[in-house]
């Protein structure tokens, strides 16, 4: 009997501790095992339409088939993507609310540290999907026929060559800024309030050049309105395979810029849930029909695991921290 008493006291103590534990903590493993048992939302922090919105929508369609639950894409716009990011950061860390991310996810907080977006603080990586490279283009009437010719012109008359962008911190802005820094030339940035306005002045030869997304660049080059000088990806793009990379054309190893896409979840989302989401994203983009639809947007598919995408985000943050600091670029 005496030997049984300590066991009874131990059992009673364990039950008491269990009673004091928060219910979510007790239920977490079971919830992760059942995940998902209801619809999942992917928040796009920009307006509907365009590649930033289309990529997550196409991906979500097939993720829903894999997960056997609806995957709904919602647009929550404002403050350069900060409204949508803040909404997801404040959502329960249960895997049912994800954020579709692109370069602004990294660059936005660097331009304005008060907004959400630091992956190590507010979010954790889920999966990378792929990237849409930019193409450095000039008007068809431009005398500049190659990237080396453009750089020689920039060196001979510093600051006279202008480049358009859809705004400060956009992928087209950063593509040209990194080129200028790595080649030690001075180019004059002309920011617009969106790509349509920038395109209008580019086609009218009121600016010297622009780094356009590959799908749009291909259309304009094929119509004879623009001339392609180089793609900003590390490898030649399947969208325009005859166009050399910047690294090739200008002998700039290490140059790489692109409009990449991926998914992140609120920090604290269970590993088991993230694993299921990452597997679903990988299966979704490996579907041939889905891959074709994404390729039509100019995307070079490059699925990344959770760990690989996390490393990629860290690398991007370090790279653009240095570029923005060197150029003195801040939010306007």
Query: What ranges do the domains of the chain cover?
Result: 38-131+259-327, 133-249
Nearest alpha-carbon partner for 273 in 32, 27, 8, 31: 32
As a whole number of angstroms, the distance between CA 276 and CA 200 comes to 44
Q: Which of the four pLDDT bands, split at 50, 70 and 90, describes residue 17?
A: very low
Q: What pLDDT digit, counting tens, does each position of 107-123 carry?
A: 988 988 776 555 568 99
Mean pLDDT of the 238-262 span: 95
Q: Which of the four pLDDT bands, split at 50, 70 and 90, describes residue 26?
A: very low
Mean pLDDT of the 40-69 span: 94
∠ CA 174-176-178, nearest 5°, is: 65
Which range among 45-54, 59-68, 96-105, 114-123 shows the weakest confidence by mean pLDDT?
Answer: 114-123
State the CATH class of domain 133-249: alpha beta
Q: Which range, 13-17, 114-118, 240-244, 325-329, has the best average confidence (pLDDT)?
A: 240-244
As a whole number of angstroms, the distance between CA 328 and CA 332 comes to 12
pLDDT of residue 189: 97
pLDDT of residue 225: 98
pLDDT of residue 332: 64
Q: What pLDDT digit, counting tens, does each position of 145-202 carry?
A: 999 999 999 999 999 999 999 888 889 999 999 999 999 999 999 999 888 899 999 9
As a whole number of angstroms, the distance between CA 190 and CA 210 comes to 10
As a whole number of angstroms, the distance between CA 330 and CA 328 comes to 7
Mean pLDDT of the 272-291 span: 95
Q: Which of the four pLDDT bands, split at 50, 70 and 90, describes residue 12?
A: very low
pLDDT of residue 120: 62
Q: What pLDDT digit, counting tens, does each position of 206-234 carry?
A: 999 999 999 899 999 999 999 999 999 99
Bond before 36 cis per omega within 30 degrees: yes
- Is the pLDDT at 4 greater than 50, yes or no? no
∠ CA 134-245-289, nearest 5°, is: 55
As a whole number of angstroms, the distance between CA 266 and CA 288 comes to 30
The residues near 287 (Cβ < 8 Å, ≥ 6 apart) are: 62
pLDDT of residue 117: 54
As a whole number of angstroms, the distance between CA 70 and CA 280 comes to 13
Give the CA dihedral 63, 132, 238, 308, nearest 10 degrees.
Answer: -60
pLDDT of residue 14: 41
pLDDT of residue 25: 45
Q: Do the Cβ atoms of 237 and 214 come closer than 8 Å?
A: yes
Return the bridge partners of 40, or none: 71
Q: Do the Cβ atoms of 160 and 187 come closer than 8 Å?
A: no
Which range among 115-124, 236-245, 282-291 shows the weakest confidence by mean pLDDT?
Answer: 115-124
| SS3 assignment, position 213 | strand
Percent of the chain with pLDDT over 70: 89
As a whole number of angstroms, the distance between CA 69 and CA 287 comes to 18
Mean pLDDT of the 124-140 span: 96
Count of C-beta atoms within a 10 Å radius of residue 318: 11
Q: Which residue's entry shows tokens 């579907």? A: 287
Mean pLDDT of the 238-259 span: 95
Helices (H), 117-170: 147-156
Look up the CATH number of domain 38-131+259-327: 3.40.190.150
Q: Do the Cβ atoms of 133 and 233 come closer than 8 Å?
A: yes
Q: Which residue's entry shows tokens 């619809």? A: 39
As a whole number of angstroms, the distance between CA 306 and CA 295 comes to 22
Mean pLDDT of the 250-269 span: 95
Q: Residue length, the chain?
A: 332
60 burial (CB, 10 Å; 0-12 / 13-18 / 19+) is buried
Angle between helices 147-156 and 171-183 (to 10 degrees): 70
38-131+259-327 and 133-249, same CATH topology:
yes
Q: What is the mean pLDDT of the chain?
A: 89
């Amino acid at each position: 009997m005496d030997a049984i008493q300590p066991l009874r006291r131990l059992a009673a103590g364990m039950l008491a501790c269990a009673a004091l534990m928060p219910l979510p903590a007790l239920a977490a493993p079971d919830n992760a095992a059942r995940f998902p048992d209801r619809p999942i939302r992917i928040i796009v922090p920009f307006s509907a339409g365009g590649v930033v919105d289309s990529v997550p929508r196409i991906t979500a369609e097939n993720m829903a088939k894999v997960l056997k639950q609806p995957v709904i894409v919602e647009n929550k716009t404002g403050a350069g993507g900060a409204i949508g990011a803040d909404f997801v950061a404040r959502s329960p860390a249960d895997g049912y609310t994800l954020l579709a991310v692109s370069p602004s996810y990294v660059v936005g907080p660097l331009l304005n540290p008060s907004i959400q977006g630091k992956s190590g603080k507010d979010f954790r990586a889920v999966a990378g999907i792929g990237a849409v490279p930019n193409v450095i283009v000039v008007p068809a009437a431009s005398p500049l026929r190659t990237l080396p010719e453009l750089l020689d012109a920039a060196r001979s008359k510093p600051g006279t060559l202008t480049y358009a962008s859809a705004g400060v911190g956009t992928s087209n802005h950063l593509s040209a800024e990194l080129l200028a820094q790595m080649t030690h030339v001075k180019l004059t940035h002309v920011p617009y309030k969106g790509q349509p306005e920038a395109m209008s002045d580019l086609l009218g030869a009121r600016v010297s050049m622009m780094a356009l997304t590959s799908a749009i660049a291909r259309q304009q080059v094929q119509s004879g309105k623009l001339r392609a000088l180089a793609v900003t990806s590390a490898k030649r793009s399947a969208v325009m395979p005859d166009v050399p990379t910047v690294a090739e054309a200008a002998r700039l190893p290490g140059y790489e810029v692109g409009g990449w896409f991926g998914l992140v979840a609120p920090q604290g989302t269970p590993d088991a849930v993230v694993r299921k989401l990452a597997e679903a994203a990988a299966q979704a983009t490996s579907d041939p029909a889905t891959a074709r639809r994404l390729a039509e947007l100019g995307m070079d598919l490059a699925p990344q695991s959770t760990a690989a995408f996390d490393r990629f985000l860290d690398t991007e943050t370090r790279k653009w921290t240095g570029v923005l600091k060197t150029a003195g670029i801040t939010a306007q």
